[in-house]
Amino acid sequence: MPSVHDIAVVTPRKQPLHAARFSRPSLEAFENPLRVDAAIHYLDSRGVFDWVDRVDAPQAKIEDVRIVHSEYLIESVGIMTELGSGDIGEASYASPELMRAALYAVGSATKAAELTVMRKKRHAFSLSRPPGHHATTSAAMGLCFFNNIAIAVKRIMTNGSVQRVSILDFDSHHGNGTSEIFYAARNVQYISVHEYDYETYGQGHFSEIGYGEAAGTKVNIPLLESSPDVSYESALTRVVVPAIQRFKPDMIAVSAGYDPHFADPVGNMDVDSSTFWRIGSTVKSLVDSTGCGGSFWVLEGGYNPLALGPCIEASLLGLAGQPKPDLPDQIPRRLQPGIAEANDEILDQVLETVEPYW
């Protein structure tokens, strides 16, 4: 096993209790404190903290949030927290603990970024909630209030520690907030692998490539619903790896959403923990081969509390350079006929769209 000095998991010592007043199967009810509690319990029971350092997350300050978000959004989160409930945006419901939880999630992501930038850790994983990648500069949505990863990226770029950052987002859903925040930023590459409905369309189409001088730095990989592990492997080898190699980042940031898991109640993909190991392993290889400083990971989705722990363990093992673990969720599943071939054609179109800018 690797040295405990290489990798950290950053999480608040006491988990904030933010939870919307809904019962399952409403979307809001799946984003609850059990997610992180169950994951930590699982990682602990597997002995992961014997080889991964556990670091306490600090609470961020409001001024940290201001580097990305509008005063109106910040005030809305504050007012709704005081009121104790209420919709701030689409599927973004407040609770009396919301502001505390949101500031811990920002503090946790920022701490993970700083640990890697300051070379205290090679890789750091922020295991905190609520997630962030749907939050735009001025709007909460999709269970997200403040964009944790965007704030962390801007923070390390503002203080001059790093000039170029690649963000890899493998949550099942397109990170519209992160994409909006960096759409015209040529020094921030945003690569998103997500499920996409080619009958109704929506944001996250591969035609979204970035604005002006940032064209080609936004790489959307919209895969079909029910995409299997083999399609994620193709997306990694054919698009993600060459995109990051050519961009030459100083740091890799990962929006780590585990809702593509086949047993997830919210996502519609068909992968298991082997894909999340592969992503960890790929990021480790990219860090080692491109000479970039490291990677920091920020939890986004992943709403099956029994699947989240094994998936995070698999990612950490990949980052540690360990072989793919055989975990109990890796069961044989029937592939949808033709889906791998159809996804390969989508990858052709992604490459035709962005490669001319590289």
Q: Which of 28, 259, 264, 313 binds Zn ion (CB under 5 A)?
A: 259
Count the Cβ atoms, other than its own, within 10 Å of residue 37. 12
Element (H, E) at 178: helix 176-181
Residue selected from 216, 257, 294, 310 as contacting Zn ion according to rule CB under 5 A: 257
Whether the CB-CB separation of 163 and 157 falls below 8 Å is answered with yes
Is residue 6 a contact residue for Zn ion (CB under 5 A)?
no
Q: How far is the CB of 268 from Zn ion (least distance, A)?
A: 10
Would you say 251 or 308 has its CB closer to Zn ion? 308
Binding segment for Zn ion among 4-12, 85-93, 164-172, 272-280 (CB under 5 A)? 164-172
Among 175, 228, 280, 301, binds Zn ion (CB under 5 A): 301
Give Cα 140 to chain centroid, integer Å: 17
- Please tell me the distance from the alpha carbon of residue 68 to that of residue 137, in angstroms, as a whole number: 6
CB of 301 to Zn ion, least distance (A): 3
Between residues 177 and 310, which has the closer beta carbon with respect to Zn ion? 177
**171 is a site residue for Zn ion (CB under 5 A):** yes
**133 scored as a contact of Zn ion (CB under 5 A):** no
| CA-to-CA dists, residue 3 to 6, 35, 329, angstroms | 6, 27, 27
* Count of residues making up the chain: 358
* C-alpha R_g of the chain: 18
Give the sign of the dihedral formed by CA 169, CA 173, CA 178, CA 184: positive
Q: Which stretch binds Zn ion (CB under 5 A): 14-22, 40-48, 168-176, 205-213?
A: 168-176
Site for Zn ion in 31-70 (CB under 5 A): none
Q: Which is nearer to Zn ion, 64 or 171 (CB)?
A: 171
Residue-by-residue DSSP string for 174-218 = --HHHHHHTTT-TTEEEEEEEEE-TTT--TT-TT---SGGGTTSE
Asked if residue 217 lies in contact with residue 131, where contact means CB atoms within 8 angstroms, the answer is: no
Which amino acid belongs to residue 75?
Answer: E
Query: CA-to-CA distance for 269 and 248, rounded, in angstroms?
Result: 30
Nearest Cα to Cα of residue 297 among 155, 149, 88: 149
Looking at the Cβ atoms of 176 and 282, the one nearer to Zn ion is 176
Mark the segment that binds Zn ion (CB under 5 A) among 161-169, 214-222, 294-302, 337-345: 294-302
Is residue 166 involved in binding Zn ion (CB under 5 A)? no
Q: Of all helices (H) and strands (E), which one includes residue 82?
A: helix 71-83
Phi/psi of residue 35, each to 5°? -55, -55
Question: What residues are annotated to the active site?
Answer: 134
State which residue, 16 or 257, has the beta carbon closest to Zn ion: 257
Residues from 186 through 215 that contact Zn ion (CB under 5 A) = none
Q: How far is the CB of 299 from Zn ion (least distance, A)?
A: 11
Binds Zn ion by CB under 5 A, chosen from 172, 192, 220, 274 = 172
- Residue 110 or 172: the one with the smaller Cβ distance to Zn ion is 172
Out of 123, 155, 173, 278, point to the residue binding Zn ion (CB under 5 A). 173
Query: With CB under 5 A as the contact rule, which of the stretches 16-24, 57-65, 145-153, 253-261 interacts with Zn ion?
Result: 253-261
C-beta nearest to Zn ion: residue: 301
- If the CB atoms of residues 36 and 287 are measured against Zn ion, the closer one turns out to be 36
Kind and range of the H or E run holding 106: helix 98-117
Q: How far is CA 199 from CA 202, 225, 268, 340, 342, in A?
A: 9, 11, 15, 18, 14
Residues making contact with Zn ion (CB under 5 A):
171-173, 257, 259, 301
